[in-house]
């Protein structure tokens, strides 16, 4: 209770996050209040358990993979900065962001970054390749016990066959981009944030 001042966001921090993520001032303060309400330990960071406490996320077949995307390798806490950086991938691409020259570093919500986020869901060991084994594991998460090993195996084989162009029996990020070439990722991986 007494440390109310320290739980508020400083104006400089908001400015920095604004620059980094493109969220508006009011979006940042409101997402901050969401962040603090999820933070049951009240220590300014979220743990995996904090995320799992959201029932709708807990029943999501890929929930654990999505949660994992918030945590840098080997860490089990994420602060507000990191939280916002991950969420920024899902900001819609605005018209004035489309024609920006490539000299400026690519925004977090670009098509490539959105695709990279999806790619990493499958890439369990973060080696920038989706192996047959990794694909099988993620498929198992999605379907549960409802499909036999045999059937799932053939689905994985077929998927890799279709995507793999260099014959290494795995899917690289470039091959992944190719497969999702016609998918409207810009829209399908964007969330309509209000004001």
Partner 1 sequence: MDSSLSGNKVEMEDFWTFALWALKTWLYLIICLIMIPAMFGFSLGISETYMTILVKTLEWATLNIQKVYAEERTLTASPSNGLIEREDGSMEKELEELRRSRPKSLGSDFTLSDCVYFTRRGIESIVEDEVTQRFTSEELVSWNLLTRTNNDFQYISLKVTLVYGIGIFMRYCILAPLRITLACIGLSWLVIGTSAVGLLPNWSIKFWLSEWVHVMCYRICARGLSATIRYHNKENKPKKGGICVANHTSPIDIVILCNDGCYAMVGQIHGGLMGVIQRAMVRSCPHVWFERAEMKDRHLVTKRLKDHVNDKTKLPILIFPEGTCVNNTSVMMFKKGSFEIGSTIYPVAIKYDPNVGDAFWNSSKYSMVSYLLRMMTSWALVCNVWYLPAMHQQEEEDAVQFAKRVKSAIALRGGLVDLQWDGGLKRAKVKDLFKEEQQKQYSSMVLGDDSSSHSD
Applying CB under 8 A, which residues contact partner 1? 8, 26-27, 29-31, 33-34, 37-38, 51-63, 66, 87, 90, 117-118, 121-122, 138-139, 142-147, 151, 154-155, 158-159, 163, 171, 176, 179-185, 188-195
Separation between Cα atoms, residue 174 and residue 195, nearest integer Å = 35
Separation between Cα atoms, residue 129 and residue 83, nearest integer Å = 25
Nearer to partner 1, 100 or 174 (CB): 174
Nearer to partner 1, 20 or 179 (CB): 179
- Going by the DSSP 8-state scheme, the letter that residue 76 receives in this structure is -
Nearer to partner 1, 8 or 75 (CB): 8
Q: Which two tokens stand for residue 138?
A: 């993620």
Nearer to partner 1, 12 or 181 (CB): 181
- Going by the DSSP 8-state scheme, the letter that residue 10 receives in this structure is P
Separation between Cα atoms, residue 110 and residue 189, nearest integer Å = 10
- Closest CB 44 distance from partner 1, rounded Å: 16
- Closest CB 52 distance from partner 1, rounded Å: 7
With contact defined as beta carbons under 8 Å apart, do 143 and 154 qualify? no
- Closest CB 30 distance from partner 1, rounded Å: 5
Nearer to partner 1, 26 or 100 (CB): 26
- Closest CB 56 distance from partner 1, rounded Å: 4
Q: Exposed (0-12), middle (13-18) or buried (19+): which is 56, by Cβ within 10 Å?
A: exposed
């Amino acid at each position: 209770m007494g440390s109310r001042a320290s739980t508020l966001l400083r104006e400089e921090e908001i400015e920095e996050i604004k620059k980094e993520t493109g969220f508006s001032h009011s979006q940042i303060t409101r997402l901050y209040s969401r962040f603090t309400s999820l933070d049951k330990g009240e220590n300014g960071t979220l743990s995996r358990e904090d995320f799992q406490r959201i029932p709708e996320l807990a029943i999501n077949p890929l929930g654990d993979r999505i949660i994992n995307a918030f945590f840098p390798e080997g860490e089990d806490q994420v602060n507000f900065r990191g939280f916002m950086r991950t969420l920024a991938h899902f900001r819609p691409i605005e018209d004035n962001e489309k024609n920006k020259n490539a000299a400026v570093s690519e925004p977090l919500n670009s098509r490539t970054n959105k695709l990279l986020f999806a790619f990493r869901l499958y890439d369990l060991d973060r080696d920038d390749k989706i192996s047959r084994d990794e694909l099988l594991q993620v498929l198992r998460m999605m379907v549960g016990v409802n499909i036999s090993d045999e059937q799932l195996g053939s689905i994985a084989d077929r998927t890799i066959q279709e995507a793999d162009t260099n014959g290494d029996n795995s899917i690289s990020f470039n091959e992944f981009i190719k497969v999702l070439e016609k998918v409207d990722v810009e829209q399908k991986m964007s969330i309509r944030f209000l004001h």
